[in-house]
Amino acid sequence: MGRKVAIVGVGHSRYGVRSDVNLPELAWESIKEALEDAGISQKDVEFVVYGNVGVWSSEPLPAIVINEYAELTPAGTMRVEAACATGSAAIKAGYDMVSSGNADIVLVVGVEKMNESPTPTVVELIGRAGNYFWEFENFGLTFPGYYAFFATRYMAKYGATEEDFCRVAVKNHYYGARNPKAHFQREISIEKCMSSRYIAWPVKLYDSSPITDGSATVVLASEEVAKKLTDTPIWIKAIETASDTSNLSKRPEFLHRHSVMLAAQKAYKKAGIDPENPLRYIDFAEVHDAFTIAEVLTYEELGFAKPGEGYKLIREEQVYIGGKIPVNISGGLKAKGHPLGATGVGMAVEVAKQLRGEAETRERQIPIKHGTAVVNNVGGTGHYTYVFIYSLKP
């Protein structure tokens, strides 16, 4: 049993097409906020973990470049990668370092400059992250195509409609419009979503997350240090992970992502949450909605709805504030944005602010009853899965 670990400081850059800054400057936006939030300086940081995929970026080895720019040297550093779950993998690495006693204060930075490459190149590079030789080379699959498989199967099996998936986009744009750090700060209608062009039927442009630049940072601390730094530490009650086959055809059942279900079950058990009724314990969730179908699937995989009934939660507006379980009140990947290396860290920043009652706008502040939130971050189609339980209670 390791030491307890808490988030004691958070920072978040503005997400979007950030041609106004280079990679170290973009990282510094969130690093500076997080250090100030924790009330510490660079010299207090013992180690820095960077989440960065970076294949589209001019800096192939960004950790030491950012460390120098942010005046974090001589602190130790490393870069980690786990596709779209890279930010969560970085938090896991930092958590393990603090929990094991190897450090008392660790900085975790997620950063990505995806728009340094043209859109077709980015789409191809992400597509290669599935099963390159079989699925990408033979069949030309990219990630809109993967999630189109999920959507068509879900519609055929359970009776959901394209409008149901668009309802996810409408919700997330509604809250993104109220998030000053979001990539898309504008509302959309179901009609606008439905009339957007198809990327891979039935996945449309407005069913898809954007190509985003951004950074997010959290300061992790041991229990002893956390209690000295803040009156509102956000405790990491559980981090559980799972994986699945890279080749979709080798999975025993296609529609639901078993790695998500397995990681969630393990996380609930570790945090003392009844997996049969998690809504009794959880105030809200941040989940991986790179495509709108992914959010609907996650409702079911995290136990918020029975298999085949997730679309009813969004159809009945039960995942808005005031509903059964608010989901992606940040705007989600769909509207806040999806800078791969920063995404999981950005989710942690959002959770910390919500639990502390510090959402930037009143319309986005979730009423906190239980003091607990769940985060799900997925790499690929469940290739990498991370589920976190964050809490105001140690």
- Whether the per-residue pLDDT at 87 is higher than 70: the answer is yes
- Give me the pLDDT at residue 288, please: 98
Task: From the candidates 12, 173, 183, 338, give the one annotated as an active-site residue.
Answer: 338
Q: pTM score, two decimals?
A: 0.97
- Whether the per-residue pLDDT at 164 is higher than 60: the answer is yes
pLDDT in tens, 323-333: 999 999 999 99
- Give me the pLDDT at residue 250, please: 80
Could you tell me if 133 and 152 are in contact, meaning their C-beta atoms sit under 8 angstroms apart?
no
Full residue range of the structural domain in which residue 219 is found:
5-117+211-229
Determine, yes or no, domain membership for 49: yes
Overall number of domains in the chain: 1
DSSP three-state, residue 240:
strand
Determine, yes or no, domain membership for 54: yes
Determine, yes or no, domain membership for 250: no
Could you tell me if 334 and 173 are in contact, meaning their C-beta atoms sit under 8 angstroms apart?
yes
pLDDT in tens, 188-245: 999 999 999 999 999 999 999 999 999 999 999 999 999 999 999 999 999 999 999 8
Mean local confidence (pLDDT), 260-284:
97
Determine, yes or no, domain membership for 365: no
Active site residue 12: no
Active site residue 338: yes
pLDDT in tens, 165-181: 999 999 999 999 999 99
Q: What is the DSSP letter of 79?
A: E
Determine, yes or no, domain membership for 173: no
Mean local confidence (pLDDT), 139-167:
92
Give residue 135's pLDDT band: very low, low, confident or very high (50, 70, 90): low
DSSP three-state, residue 83:
coil
Q: What is the DSSP letter of 133?
A: I
Determine, yes or no, domain membership for 221: yes
Task: From the candidates 84, 166, 173, 288, give the one annotated as an active-site residue.
Answer: 84
Determine, yes or no, domain membership for 93: yes
Determine, yes or no, domain membership for 39: yes
- Whether the per-residue pLDDT at 133 is higher than 70: the answer is no
The DSSP element (H or E) to which 78 belongs, if any, is: strand 76-80
For residue 37, give the CATH number of its domain: 3.40.47.10
pLDDT in tens, 217-229: 999 999 999 999 9
Could you tell me if 248 and 131 are in contact, meaning their C-beta atoms sit under 8 angstroms apart?
yes
Give residue 129's pLDDT band: very low, low, confident or very high (50, 70, 90): confident
Residue-by-residue DSSP string for 308-333: T-HHHHHHTTTTSTTSSS-B-TT-HH
